[in-house]
Structure 1
């Protein structure tokens, strides 16, 4: 066995152990529960913009982007724009690597790969900061409810020009809203790519952590994921991703399109 193959086999064995270690998984949820009142996820940024994500989940996303090599990433939920900038930077790296392999020149003002962000309220100061960012040529934004007919039609129209699509859902976290987003956007995911549903962890957290929100245990992205999967066998949960991360907001949230 070649050294690189041996290392991958070792990693696979490590993940097998994490999948089986339910005590460690529970300990990780306890850590997330205790850090939640401190808004830990607010403390990070990417290339100058706040990115309200767990670093582990961002790392997992870059692994998926390298594996899938999408030409379009669709994201619901923009906030300060850090996640959009992060995805745009990953797309820029893909284009750079591809151009290097082919000996081609890149046109930074006319990029091949794009990121499409959707939010019901793109605040002006955030819009201005995103539009002023050097990676903005890779970004398109739609302001409107992610589940309105008008927005869904606009997204589908935009996506029609792309072949390999990855979707990230991170806006309103109620069951009905996330289920509607899954029904609207998961069909755009290309085979072997992913729909990542964030904040499924809400289902596993104490109710009091959601007291001031319309979502919580029993009414969460995770309940929406399982409802969607009942009628859509072309997707399955890639449980090895969240188990290897341990510290994640997306348990059962990495959905792989298998057909």
Structure 2
């Protein structure tokens, strides 16, 4: 019965690109909800997560299907995403998945109050953090050493959103992604939003995570954009950012 249900789901998702009213409504919501900081309204187990609920659900599905024993995340902020990933790994372990799975977070500035909140959280038992620039060679070396101890790695990039920074992150961390797993690049939606939405930021249209993804994929054939996730979510900050690793 589940096979029939899953087939029905895939059939519905395949029709979504042809539903112009639905797609246009989703695009309008993204544009209308960005300036009011709608994504800042949510938390996970007590910590602000700063994501759209749709992307949270998508990550839950990926973490369960991939069963990683390491999730690498660049960008920590309040720590909600780290707590989320750790809690998903905890649930995976309860369901028979990897028992010693971990989350590794990297951020150039882990503010003390956020560090204390993360370190005193029950899910911290699965979390480690490195403070420093995610594209610093020494930081990259530390992350690679951690990844070398693991069998299946999932990567999430969500720090500085400029083209050059994200491209450097992709070149450093995408190779750590295991075959069948994902490298997820957040905030690619910047390319699809009016440029005046980011007057105080160094990124904008033509200079953002999506343009970095596009350049990266021109020469890297290990990954392909999983458009199925884009169509399923519709409301997402990571259009063209769910990159599936299709080769060893």
Structure 2-normalised TM-score? 0.97
Compute the displacement of 1:27 (Å).
2.5
Distance 1:23 1:233 in 2: 34
Report what 1:192 is aligned to: 180
The 5 A counterparts of 1:57-136 are: 57-98=55-96, 112-136=100-124
Compute the displacement of 1:49 (Å).
0.5
Q: SS where residue 117 of structure 1 aligns?
A: strand
Compute the displacement of 1:23 (Å).
4.5
Q: Deviations over 1:105-138 (max 9, x none)?
A: x9xxxx6000000000000000000000011010
2:204 to 179, 191, 216: 216
1:154 and 2:139 correspond: no
RMSD: 1.2
Q: Deviations over 1:175-220 (max 9, x none)?
A: 0000000000000000010000000000000011111100011001
Indicate conservation of the 8 Å contact 1:19/1:244, yes or no.
no
Distance 2:197 2:211 in 1: 17
Greater CA deviation, 13-22 or 165-174?
Answer: 13-22
Segments of structure 2 that go 5 or more residues without pairing to the other structure are none
Compute the displacement of 1:243 (Å).
1.0
1:36 and 2:34 correspond: yes
Computing the radius of gyration from Cα coordinates, the structure with the larger value is: 1
Distance 1:56 1:246 in 2: 8
Structure 1-normalised TM-score? 0.93
Distance 1:21 1:225 in 2: 26
Report what 1:17 is aligned to: 15
Report what 2:230 is aligned to: 242
Report what 1:103 is aligned to: none
Report what 1:6 is aligned to: 4
Q: SS where residue 38 of structure 1 aligns?
A: coil
Report what 1:170 is aligned to: 158
Distance 1:87 1:172 in 2: 20
Report what 1:225 is aligned to: 213
Indicate conservation of the 8 Å contact 1:174/1:219, yes or no.
yes
Indicate conservation of the 8 Å contact 1:72/1:166, yes or no.
yes
